[in-house]
Amino acid sequence: MQRFRARVLRCVSSVARSFSPRPRKFDPASRTRAEAPRYEKLLRRLGLLAGSAKSGFRRLVFFVALLAFGSAVPAQVLLDLTFDGETDDASTALLLEDPLIHLETDSGVDGTGAIRVDYVGFDRGSKRAVVVLPLDGIVDEATLSFDVRFAEDFKWVRGGKLHGLGPERRVTGGRPRQPDGWSSRMMFRSGGRISTYLYDQDPVVRYGVGDTSEDPFLKAGQWHHVVLRVKLNTPEQPDGYAQILIDGREAVRTKGVTFRGVGGEATRIQNFLFSTFHGGSDPRFAPVDSEGAFTIERAWFDNFKVVAGIH
Ligand SMILES: [Ca+2]
């Protein structure tokens, strides 16, 4: 895109030069025979001269305006859950079918509606709150954001999963890697640090890979705004990345990721992976009290949003 944009700008600049020192206001109808071929040749190079020179020039102006103001176009929203007012949409209903997820009308940001997740300790960490929600679109780059508040005395233990994005075939849970499968999630870690947690095309490791923040970005008892940016790789090329921002500050970024080994529509980003629990898959991840009994930890989530592109 950068190269294309540079080429367009070079051509536009060339067009401008070709009319200098002509009058400032350009009138295609008044061009001389000597000017016309150069002007039309440049427009043809841009693929903008299918009809008359005049209509081609109009298209050029439109195209330049699009380039200049394109960033002001609102991002395509692929998922938007606030848990306020009407909460009977399909995605919210799917979440609430999970016995670990509960709707609360005043526990969210600014006293609005939110969902509470119960992390019920057992010998493999805590019970799995896992729901897959299809997005309203299929893209190669997406930004997931949400607000989260872990309970005041939340036990991080050795860590656990946090939500992410995935293709049609999600590879998680230590299942064998597949060329057309992958997942990009996060993990909370001991002390409130945070990690990228990715199932890529690594031929050796069994579980997810990623990087962990040095600082404890997450603090129990307060709201945080979490952003996960995912750029899918070109098939077989290690040019994907996952980046996490907490409260507007970059916490961790994993670059050079080969999420998928092949191309195709099914390998593109199309699912929101609601996924949070302690673990890991052994008792070392389980939340327990001072006597070693399993506990139930809690966190509240609000304002899940997925938009197309990196934002
Ligand atoms: Ca809310």
Q: Ligand 1 being an ion, which residues bring their Cβ within 5 A of it?
A: 82-84, 108, 112-113, 302
How many angstroms does the Cα of residue 127 sit away from the middle of ligand 1? 24
- What confidence score (pLDDT) does residue 186 get? 98
14 and 123 both lie in a single domain? no
**pLDDT bracket for residue 161 (50, 70, 90):** very high
Task: For residue 157, give every residue at least 6 positions away whose Cβ sits within 8 Å of its Cβ, in sequence order, or none.
Answer: 125, 190, 278, 284, 285, 286, 287
137 and 262 both lie in a single domain? yes
pLDDT in tens, 202-212: 989 999 999 99
Q: How far apart are CA 268 and CA 151, in angstroms?
A: 35
How many angstroms does the Cα of residue 83 sit away from the middle of ligand 1? 5
> What distance, in Å, lies between the first and last C-alpha atoms of the chain?
17
87 and 203 both lie in a single domain? yes
Question: Looking at per-residue confidence, does 240 or 85 come out higher?
Answer: 240
Parallel, antiparallel, or unpaired for β 269-278 and 101-104? Answer: unpaired
Question: Which pTM value belongs to this model?
Answer: 0.78
**pLDDT bracket for residue 17 (50, 70, 90):** very low
Instruction: Report, as an integer, the average pLDDT of 179-197.
Output: 98
Which residue(s) pair with 230 in the sheet? Answer: 142, 242
- Please provide the average confidence, as pLDDT, over all residues in the chain: 85
The answer to whether residues 73 and 298 touch, using CB atoms and an 8 Å cutoff, is: no
Q: How far apart are CA 186 and CA 212, in angstroms?
A: 10
How many angstroms does the Cα of residue 153 sit away from the middle of ligand 1? 22
**H or E stretch at 201:** none
Number of domains in the chain: 2
CATH code of the domain in which 121 resides: 2.60.120.200
Per cent of the chain over pLDDT 70 is 77
How many angstroms does the Cα of residue 303 sit away from the middle of ligand 1? 6
44 and 94 both lie in a single domain? no
Alpha helices by DSSP H, listed for 113-171, are none
**pLDDT bracket for residue 263 (50, 70, 90):** very high
Number of H helices, E strands in the chain: 4, 15
How many angstroms does the Cα of residue 110 sit away from the middle of ligand 1? 8
166 and 290 both lie in a single domain? yes
152 and 16 both lie in a single domain? no
Q: Which residue do the tokens 């057309």 mark?
A: 180
> Residue 48 is part of which domain span?
2-72
Q: What are phi and psi of 191, to 5 degrees?
A: 75, 0
How many angstroms does the Cα of residue 219 sit away from the middle of ligand 1? 20
Residue type, 49: L
Alpha helices by DSSP H, listed for 19-143, are 36-45, 53-69, 90-96
pLDDT in tens, 128-141: 999 999 999 999 99
- What confidence score (pLDDT) does residue 54 get? 57
CA count, 13 A, side-chain hemisphere, 218: 32
Q: What are phi and psi of 234, to 5 degrees?
A: -65, 135
- What confidence score (pLDDT) does residue 85 get? 82
136 and 40 both lie in a single domain? no
